[in-house]
């Protein structure tokens, strides 16, 4: 199968997006009126016409996250190989619930995940699966950790436990854990917020104090979450110390490396992830710094028996359990019917090779350094410390909300505002596109100077 038409459509789109607006100005009423006037689904329409119309809507009414000046929330530009991967998946529609239905797809995923799990330093027998994203991977981690720590949980629920289980993370960790605690029946108060040091990394003294206090109060601590690349400021928690603490206290260490996990490939950056090899489980998203289209998360766990216990399922309507050295994904993960999520990562890795990926990741890290330096030269104050390409900044008297609104209005760049710790809101810019160049950054910083 040749993908020449797709290749040239992608190339055309890339240059159209790079030279067009980044941020749309549209109201819900405008889009609803447009859809209502054209699509009542009573008369069939020509597919070419509808597809062109929808493409027009996406081109006009969307923040263009693949724009080189989208400095946003970890939404990447996507490689051609990964687009082809998703197209192939849609064409063949492999069902990933069982191994026997889609042997090729299952083995391609297993191969890809085993390779990446090895990079994280996990043992060969570790369990790994593709998920819809980081939130599902974090949900998986909590369910598996609960199942292992409290064997009664699976059959009898939390009500049977003598004490309420608790999770420890910082205020900078991803807020999916609050939803996870709600969904898992732990309740949102089970998420205990640990203090941070001056660089927003988890304060180990405070962690130890809170765990001890909670035990004293009759609660049942079972999990600590360390983040590699917090969403707001790109902070990496002190993983070796967390691993030591968790081992000594009998707690599950989950590392949420949804965005920053890709840095494990980089010889320049991977030292900052030291300690991740000791994690009980890891979240890493392919649809962030691995630059493939959504939705593609990954959940790794060094305890396959706990994963099997958490997600076990038996029915008469599913094909019989596949025997041999394989698993049926519906018995080892949250999802049942599942898309062949892993192909886009497999194809992109195969096409670029590890060296190509290292270059892509290190390019973005370098662009983060370029941005930091350009901002400082222009008199901005950078307020976060990280080797990863997230830069949070401000200047005396700046109102970040007004500032980012002006950036959008003049189509200079997409950035956001964020509140770090107990501080006032600041501006946040993350290099999420492998297409961002030094001249994009210099132009943006120059234009920003004209706004303030
Ligand atoms: C650190 C971290 N963890 C988890 C998530 C959630 O991932 P997803 O949006 O893929 O569900 C994010 C999203 O940005 C994140 O930054």
Strand arrangement of the beta sheet that strand 381-382 belongs to: 381-382, 390-394, 425-430, 416-419
Q: Are 217 and 95 in contact (CB under 8 A)?
A: no
| Average pLDDT of the residues of the chain | 97
Q: Output the pLDDT for position 452.
A: 72
The structure tokens listed for 140 are 């998986």
Overall CATH class of domain 87-346? alpha beta
Q: Which atom of ligand 1 is nearest to the CA of 231?
A: 16
At 188-198, the pLDDT tens digits run 999 999 999 99
Ligand 1 midpoint to CA 139 (Å) = 11
The structure tokens listed for 310 are 């958490």
Q: Output the pLDDT for position 423.
A: 92
Q: How many CA atoms lie within 13 A of 148 on its CB side?
A: 22
Q: Output the pLDDT for position 388.
A: 98
- Give the closest residue (by CA) to ligand 1 atom 5: 134
Ligand 1 midpoint to CA 233 (Å) = 13
How does DSSP assign 379-430, residue by residue? T-EE----SSSEEEEE-TT--HHHHHHHHHHTTS-B-EEEE-TTSPEEEEEE
**How would residue 265 be classed by pLDDT, with cut points 50, 70 and 90?**
very high
**How would residue 170 be classed by pLDDT, with cut points 50, 70 and 90?**
very high
Ligand 1 site residues, Cβ closer than 6 angstroms = 74, 133-135, 138, 174, 176, 227, 231, 256, 258-259, 285, 297
**How would residue 323 be classed by pLDDT, with cut points 50, 70 and 90?**
confident
Q: Which atom of ligand 1 is nearest to the CA of 74?
A: 14
393 backbone dihedrals φ, ψ, rounded to 5°: -155, 165
Ligand 1 midpoint to CA 174 (Å) = 6
Residue in this structure with the two tokens 């990926």, named with its chain if needed? 357
Best of 180, 285, 299, 418 for a ligand 1 pocket test (most atoms within 8 Å of beta carbon):
285
- Give the closest residue (by CA) to ligand 1 atom 14: 231
Q: Are 202 and 144 in contact (CB under 8 A)?
A: no
Which pTM does this prediction carry? 0.98
How does DSSP assign 212-247, residue by residue? HHHHHTT-EEEEEEEEBS-TTT--B--HHHHHHHHH
At 2-51, the pLDDT tens digits run 789 999 999 999 999 999 999 999 999 999 999 999 999 999 999 999 99
Ligand 1 midpoint to CA 116 (Å) = 18
At 426-441, the pLDDT tens digits run 999 999 999 999 999 9
1 pLDDT higher than 70: no
Ligand 1 midpoint to CA 298 (Å) = 11
Ligand 1 midpoint to CA 333 (Å) = 18
At 292-322, the pLDDT tens digits run 999 999 999 999 999 999 999 988 888 877 7
151 backbone dihedrals φ, ψ, rounded to 5°: -55, -20
Q: Output the pLDDT for position 229.
A: 98
Q: Which atom of ligand 1 is nearest to the CA of 230?
A: 1
At 225-238, the pLDDT tens digits run 999 999 999 999 99
Radius of gyration, CA atoms only, the chain = 23
Q: What is the SS3 assignment for 169?
A: strand
Q: Output the pLDDT for position 417.
A: 97
**How would residue 325 be classed by pLDDT, with cut points 50, 70 and 90?**
confident
Rounded Cα distance, 15 and 17, in Å: 5
Q: Are 389 and 266 in contact (CB under 8 A)?
A: no
Rounded Cα distance, 232 and 222, in Å: 26
Residue in this structure with the two tokens 């809507």, named with its chain if needed? 57
Q: Are 81 and 353 in contact (CB under 8 A)?
A: no
Q: Are 260 and 234 in contact (CB under 8 A)?
A: yes
**How would residue 366 be classed by pLDDT, with cut points 50, 70 and 90?**
very high
The domain locations on the chain are: 87-346
Rounded Cα distance, 130 and 294, in Å: 12
**CA-closest candidate to residue 260, choices 418, 81, 415, 74:** 74
Best of 138, 202, 231, 263 for a ligand 1 pocket test (most atoms within 8 Å of beta carbon):
231
Q: Are 255 and 282 in contact (CB under 8 A)?
A: yes
Ligand 1 midpoint to CA 299 (Å) = 12
Give whole-number Cα distances, 100 to 8, 104, 149, 327, in Å. 36, 9, 32, 10
């Amino acid at each position: 199968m040749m993908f020449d038409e797709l290749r040239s459509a992608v190339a055309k789109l890339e240059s159209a997006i790079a030279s067009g607006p980044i941020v749309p100005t549209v109201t819900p009423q405008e889009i609803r009126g447009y859809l209502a006037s054209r699509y009542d689904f009573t008369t069939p329409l020509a597919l070419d016409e509808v597809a062109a119309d929808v493409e027009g809507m996406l081109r006009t009414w969307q923040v263009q996250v693949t724009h080189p000046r989208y400095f946003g929330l970890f939404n990447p530009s996507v490689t051609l190989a990964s687009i082809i991967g998703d197209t192939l998946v849609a064409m063949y529609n492999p069902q990933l619930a069982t191994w026997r239905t889609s042997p090729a797809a299952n083995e391609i995923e297993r191969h890809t995940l085993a390779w990446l799990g090895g990079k994280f330093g996990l043992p060969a027998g570790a369990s790994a699966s593709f998920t819809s994203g980081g939130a599902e991977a974090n949900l998986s981690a909590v369910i598996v950790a609960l199942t292992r720590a409290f064997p009664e949980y699976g059959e009898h629920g939390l009500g049977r436990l003598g004490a309420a289980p608790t999770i420890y993370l910082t205020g900078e960790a991803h807020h999916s854990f609050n939803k996870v605690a709600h969904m898992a029946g732990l309740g949102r108060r089970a998420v205990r917020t640990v203090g941070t040091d001056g660089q927003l990394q988890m304060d180990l003294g405070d962690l130890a104090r809170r765990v001890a206090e909670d035990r004293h109060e009759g609660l049942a601590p079972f999990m600590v979450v360390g983040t590699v690349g917090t969403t707001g400021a790109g902070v990496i928690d002190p993983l070796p110390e967390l691993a030591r603490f968790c081992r000594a206290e009998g707690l599950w260490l989950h590392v949420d490396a949804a965005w920053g996990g890709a840095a494990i490939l980089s010889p320049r950056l991977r030292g900052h992830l030291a300690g991740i090899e000791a994690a009980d489980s890891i979240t890493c998203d392919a649809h962030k710094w691995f630059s493939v289209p959504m939705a593609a998360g990954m959940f790794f766990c060094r305890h396959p028996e706990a994963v099997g216990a958490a997600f076990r399922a038996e029915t008469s309507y599913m094909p019989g359990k596949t025997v041999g050295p394989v698993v049926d994904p519906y018995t080892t993960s949250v999802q049942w019917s599942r898309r062949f999520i892993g192909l886009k990562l497999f194809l992109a890795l195969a096409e670029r090779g590890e060296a190509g990926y290292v270059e892509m990741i290190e390019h973005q890290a370098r662009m983060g350094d370029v941005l930091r330096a350009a901002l400082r030269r222009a008199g901005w104050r950078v307020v976060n410390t990280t080797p990863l390409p997230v830069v949070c900044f401000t200047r005396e008297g700046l109102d970040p909300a007004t500032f980012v609104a002006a950036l959008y209005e003049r189509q200079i760049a997409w950035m956001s505002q964020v509140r770090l710790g107990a501080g006032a809101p600041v501006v946040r810019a993350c290099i999420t596109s492998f297409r961002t160049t030094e001249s994009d950054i210099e132009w943006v910083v120059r234009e920003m100077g004209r706004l303030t």
